[in-house]
Structure 1
Amino acid sequence: MVNSYANEIWPLAIYFFMVIMLVVTMLVLSWLLGQRRREAATNDPFESGVVSVGGSQIRISVEFYLVAIFFVIFDLETVFIFAWAIAFFELGWQGYLAMVVFIAILGLVLVYEWRSGALEWGNKTRVGLESAQKSAEVK
């Protein structure tokens, strides 16, 4: 029994040793072939061939975060739909009806987001705000 365990562990030990040797070799080669002296431009941030100018501390609009959250939510639902599609025949009519309800709820959520203006960028004017502003102007 001990002999079979040793036979099973040898490939793992050899693999681990080879990984360590590869990492050490890459670090030594980087040190040997790397740049010895630093120039003024070495520490400058560089993106896609363009030297960056200005600061990076800008305010990002909330709409970007909302779109990212909506993407994550609807992307997660896509995972559920794919899992359902794989088990479609095993689930039968109950699974089909459950997915129809699930997709209907997703559709209602999308319609709600659309109607509430969550998907609109720029100046948001909602129906309730417009009527309140008009009544305030009349007075």
Structure 2
Amino acid sequence: MTMEFFAYWNGSQIRDLFEAVVAITGSADFTGLLKTIILFGFLCVITVCALRYRGLDAGSFIFAVALFYGVTLVPKTDLAINDERSGSVYVVSNVPLGLAFMASTTSHVGHWLTDIFEDTFAGVEAER
């Protein structure tokens, strides 16, 4: 599945940014960092649950971490960056789905707003 991102005159810079993110998230150091953060969070949750005598609450932490990691970071997708002004299209592969989805969604909203404002104000200018 390919998602679409709209850029205006800076498509190559956006491509470089997403390629850097792909390089970071694909590295073994990033995976090690995630494991360390998850382990530290789990130890904190277990400590709080033990102090409050509510051991089953740790299950919600494990579920939330597994859901977040499994939905946002594990699946990868292609991101097509459309530079609207220069007409260039750049494709970046292996972008984490969570990042690609949020970038694509916000970009589509911005693109729609840009189009509607350009169409509306172009009509107002033509009437004068």
Higher strand share: 2
Higher relative contact order (CA 8 A, sep 6+): 2
TM-score range, shorter chain: 0.3 to 0.5
TM-score, length-scaled by structure 2? 0.35
Higher CA-based Rg: 1
